[in-house]
Amino acid sequence: MTKPAKPTKPPKTPLPFEVWALVAGGFAVALGYGVVAPAIPQFALEFGVSNFAASAIVSAFALMRLVSAPLAGWAVARMGERRTYTIGILIVAVSTGAAALAANYPQFVILRGAGGIGSTLFTVAATALLAKVSPVESRGRVASLNAAGFLLGGLFGPVLGGIVAVFGLRAPFVFYFFTLLVAAAIVAFALRGSQAASAPSPAGAGDPANGAETELTLKRALRVPQFRALLFSVFTFGWASFGVRVSLIPLLVAVTFGGDATMAAWILAAYAAGNAAFIFPSGRWTDTVGRKPMLILGLAILATSYAAMGFAPSLWALAAIMLVAGAGSALANPGQQAVLADVLAKRRGGGPVAAYSMSSDLGGVLGPAIAGLVVDAAGFGPAFALTAVLLAAAAGVWSLSRDSRTPA
């Protein structure tokens, strides 16, 4: 009697060149944004406006990202990912370069708002293309690689920004202008021969019998239970990770512990460290274990962490909680992009990707505003508890959903 052969591990599929081009472009964008972000409110104050008006610059960018998402979905469907990406990133580049020359506050607001439109165009295009070209068995790995590119750029950007800011508050905008041109050149050059990123052919578009690429409309995507769960999941993720974390943690450090901006930056860095430690293995686990288990685990860790943030007894305890929260974020995030790729199933889907982006941005806009109101009314504990409840609800939704792809 012969022994059964041991199962062999399938060879790792090489990632398409489009993935590496978009990751490199994303790193360049994140690096430049990390340089310019700290200078934005300070530059606004140079025009003699209030602190509220200075912070509204960030809101204007986020709001224009939110409302322009349907436009981005339309552009991807009509022009293709490569052209939409290039146009979007050039809009951000031109508006950023012009912002360095802004003569007054209204000009600065308008230019940052225009940058938000361009940001949505290239973000939706990049997300749609990554979802379309990712190999089925490597979608989690692609998502973690893309997230790592943005994470590294975001970590190195502020360090480099401290050097650039020596030349004045306008210098970071000039630096970001050139990094955006580099990102646009990388992607435009690398994708010039990509069939996946090209505009759809009018003749026989959407007819597989003619070899044309099919399109998944938003209406059809909303019939998929996993896509509906994904929209709620990315909304809560945007609320917590892109909204409440950035807005409330610095306030908590200052009000509760008397810390300064430097201390707040170190606390936020703990979150980034936890994220960096797990972002690569998380993508691998998402492909081998499944989307659903990783999403539930990551969201549950995030919910527990946010529930504990408002009751941290010291800065060291808060840093430890943020470290765990960053790990939870890394465990959940690749699964969300992998689910989007599973739903699209290599079809062009400008509408669904725009809805995905819009849900995240909506959470990022509403989270700081509503949580800030709760802080004023009841304190930090209830504000973080509200965020924890939303994250727990998202984990609950995924626990009742089928996995979008369970590995064999």
- The verdict on 252 and 338 lying in the same domain is yes
Same domain as 261, residue 134: no
Helices 81-99 and 69-79 cross at an angle (nearest 10°) of 130
User: Between these two residues, 307 and 37, which has the higher pLDDT value?
Assistant: 307
Q: Are residues 255 and 350 in the same domain?
A: yes
Q: Is 348 helix (H, G, I), strand (E, B) or coil?
A: strand
Structure tokens at 274: 């936890």
- Residues 101, 256: Cα–Cα separation, whole Å: 39
Tell me which residue range forms the domain holding 193: 15-199
Give the model's confidence band at 207: pLDDT under 50 very low, under 70 low, under 90 confident, else very high. Answer: very low
pLDDT score, position 204? 43
Query: Does 249 lie in the same domain as 364?
Result: yes
Q: Is residue 333 part of a domain?
A: yes
Q: Is residue 109 domain-resident?
A: yes
Please check whether residues 155 and 257 belong to one and the same domain: no
pTM flag (> 0.85)? no
CA dist 103 and 95 (Å) reads 14
Asked if 264 and 351 sit in the same domain, the reply is yes
For 148-204, how does the pLDDT look when each residue is reduced to its tens digit (9 = 90+)? 888 888 778 877 877 887 888 888 899 999 999 988 888 888 887 777 666 665 544
- The string of pLDDT tens digits covering residues 225-241 is 999 999 999 999 999 98
CA separation, residue 8 to residues 2, 211, 288, 396 (Å): 17, 34, 14, 35
Helices 225-237 + 291-309 axis angle, to 10 = 30
Q: Is the same domain home to 228 and 163? A: no
Structural domain ending residue among the three candidates 168, 199, 230: 199
Residue 87 maps to a domain: yes
Q: Are residues 173 and 100 in the same domain?
A: yes
180, 242: one domain: no
Please check whether residues 233 and 182 belong to one and the same domain: no
Q: Examine the domain organization and report whether 170 and 219 are in the same domain.
A: no
Total tally of structural domains belonging to the chain: 2
Predicted local distance difference test score (pLDDT) of residue 220: 92
Torsion angle, alpha carbons of 108, 111, 116, 118, to 10: -160
The enclosing domain of 259 has a CATH number of 1.20.1250.20
Question: Last residue of a domain, which of 199, 224, 259?
Answer: 199
Does residue 336 share a domain with residue 279?
yes
How much is the pLDDT for 4? 47
pLDDT > 90: percent of the chain: 41
